[in-house]
């Protein structure tokens, strides 16, 4: 038995979701190899070699792999799968983009966003925005699994697995990277943050979002999130979005400010350890999941909170 894990990384650094995916792969069993495909990705490969439980790291360099575009990744990974029984990929936008292409070419049904691995055929995954939890068995010869990071602890980093340089035939494909616009922030990344402050539609404008939410996040050393309503209204960029169609988070502390708590939002944050809700509508559904609810006008309560912290 052997599992190939695809690393999510920025070439310079490995994403924490990779370590969590290794933990999920360990529950599947067998030898675990990690593929680091990128351009100038030696430091990400070195980080991957430290993950506990990893047999070896396959490091592939190539310009088309710099942004891990799906077409190049498919061409690289597909031939490698001859040597593996399963492919485990973090359910990040990279993983969601790449994994189904491999599954289709292997003629297997992918298991998306898996939250538990119960042996080699049985997997647990949320459906209907987390309103139902489905346990399924797969009859396919090889398994292709994307892993929801919040459901698994990150594997430790005391290993020193060998890094093997591998080459592959992966391009130039029919897609090219043109440009990117990344949100500049000194704050922790949402899915890895220990604390998150999220804002909703009640903020009323992007100015208020910045004036109210950001200083509270600064005070708490927290990442900033937003409800879909706030994103749709243009108060916050889409990559702040927490929920069914945004990011799934489970921090130690989640502070929901002016968020009513639609089921789609709850789907993205209800596994947080402690939830605080600040909302002036005491009937808001967010209070049904909040450990501590404060019924108050956020424009008074949040500045007071910032002052007192």
Partner 1 sequence: MKVLVPVKRVIDYNVKPRVKADQTGVDLTNVKMSMNPFDEISVEEAVRMKEAGSATEIIAVSIGPQQATETLRTALAMGADRGILVKTDDDAEPLAVAKILEKIVGEEGPDLVILGKQAIDDDSNQTGQMLAALLGWPQGTFASEVKAEDGKLHVTREVDGGLQTVALDGPAIVTTDLRLNEPRYASLPNIMKAKKKPIDEKAPADYGVDLAPRLTVVKVTEPPVREAGEKVEDVPTLIEKLKSVGAL
Element (H, E) at 61: strand 54-61
Question: How big is the CA angle at 159 (ends 154 and 163), to the nearest 5 degrees?
Answer: 105
Site string for partner 1, 175-214 (x = CB under 8 A): xxxxxxxxx-----x-x-----------------------
Q: Smaller CB distance to partner 1: residue 80 or 103?
A: 103
Q: Nearest approach, Cβ of 93 to partner 1 (angstroms)? A: 4
Q: Smaller CB distance to partner 1: residue 55 or 66?
A: 66
174 contacts partner 1 (rule: CB under 8 A): yes
Residues in 239-298 at the binding interface with partner 1, rule: CB under 8 A:
239, 244-245, 247, 252-253, 263, 270, 273-276, 282, 287-296
Q: Nearest approach, Cβ of 80 to partner 1 (angstroms)? A: 16
* CA gap 267, 200 in Å, rounded: 15
Q: Nearest approach, Cβ of 136 to partner 1 (angstroms)? A: 4
Site string for partner 1, 96-135 (x = CB under 8 A): xxxxxxxxxx-xxxxxxx--------x---xxxxxxxxxx
Strands 122-127 and 116-118: antiparallel
Size of the site for partner 1 (CB under 8 A): 87
Q: Nearest approach, Cβ of 222 to partner 1 (angstroms)? A: 11
Residues in 3-62 at the binding interface with partner 1, rule: CB under 8 A:
none
* CA-based nearest residue to 86, from 67, 103, 69: 103
Residue 189 DSSP class: P
Counting other chains too, the contacts that 262-268 makes at CB distance below 8 Å and 24 or more residues apart are: 262/227, 262/228, 262/229, 263/129, 263/131, 264/129, 264/228, 265/200, 265/227, 265/228, 266/130, 267/126, 267/129, 267/130, 267/131, 267/243, 268/242, 268/243, 268/244
Site string for partner 1, 60-99 (x = CB under 8 A): -------x-xxx--x-----------------xxx-xxxx
| 8 A C-beta contact, residue 141 and residue 35 | no
Q: Smaller CB distance to partner 1: residue 23 or 272?
A: 272
| 8 A C-beta contact, residue 109 and residue 141 | no
Q: Smaller CB distance to partner 1: residue 56 or 187?
A: 187
Q: Smaller CB distance to partner 1: residue 156 or 237?
A: 237
Q: Smaller CB distance to partner 1: residue 211 or 270?
A: 270
Phi, psi of 102 (to 5 degrees): -65, -45
Buried b / exposed e across 198-219, counting CB within 10 Å, b at 16+? bbbbbbbeeebbeebbbbbbee
Site string for partner 1, 211-240 (x = CB under 8 A): -----------------x--xx----xxx-
* CA gap 48, 164 in Å, rounded: 12
Q: Smaller CB distance to partner 1: residue 164 or 189?
A: 189
């Amino acid at each position: 038995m052997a599992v190939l894990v695809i690393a999510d990384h920025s070439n310079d650094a490995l994403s924490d979701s990779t370590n969590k995916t290794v933990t999920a792969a360990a529950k599947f069993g067998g030898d675990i190899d990690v593929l680091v495909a990128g351009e100038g990705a030696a430091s990400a490969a070195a980080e991957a070699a430290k993950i506990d439980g990893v047999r070896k790291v396959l490091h592939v360099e190539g310009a088309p792999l710099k942004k891990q575009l799906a077409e190049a990744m498919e061409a690289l990974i597909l031939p490698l799968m001859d040597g593996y029984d399963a492919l485990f990929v973090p359910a990040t936008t990279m993983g969601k983009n790449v994994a189904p292409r491999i599954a289709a070419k292997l003629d297997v049904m992918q298991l998306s966003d898996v939250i538990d691995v119960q042996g080699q055929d049985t997997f647990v995954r949320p459906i209907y925005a987390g309103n139902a939890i489905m346990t399924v068995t797969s009859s396919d010869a090889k398994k292709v699994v994307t892993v929801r990071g919040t459901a698994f602890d990150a594997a430790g980093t005391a290993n020193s697995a060998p890094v093997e340089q591998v080459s592959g035939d992966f391009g130039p494909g029919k897609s090219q990277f043109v440009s990117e616009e990344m949100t500049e922030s000194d704050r922790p990344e949402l899915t890895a943050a220990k604390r998150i402050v999220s804002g909703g539609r009640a903020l009323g404008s992007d100015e208020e979002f910045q004036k109210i939410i950001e200083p509270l996040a600064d005070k708490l050393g927290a990442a900033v999130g937003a409800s879909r309503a706030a994103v749709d209204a243009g108060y916050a960029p889409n990559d702040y979005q927490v929920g069914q169609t945004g990011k799934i988070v489970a921090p130690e502390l989640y502070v929901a400010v002016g968020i009513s708590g639609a089921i789609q939002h709850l789907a993205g944050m209800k596994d947080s350890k402690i939830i605080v809700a600040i909302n002036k509508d005491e009937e808001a559904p967010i209070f049904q999941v909040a450990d501590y609810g404060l019924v108050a006008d956020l424009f008074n309560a949040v500045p007071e909170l910032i002052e007192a912290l």
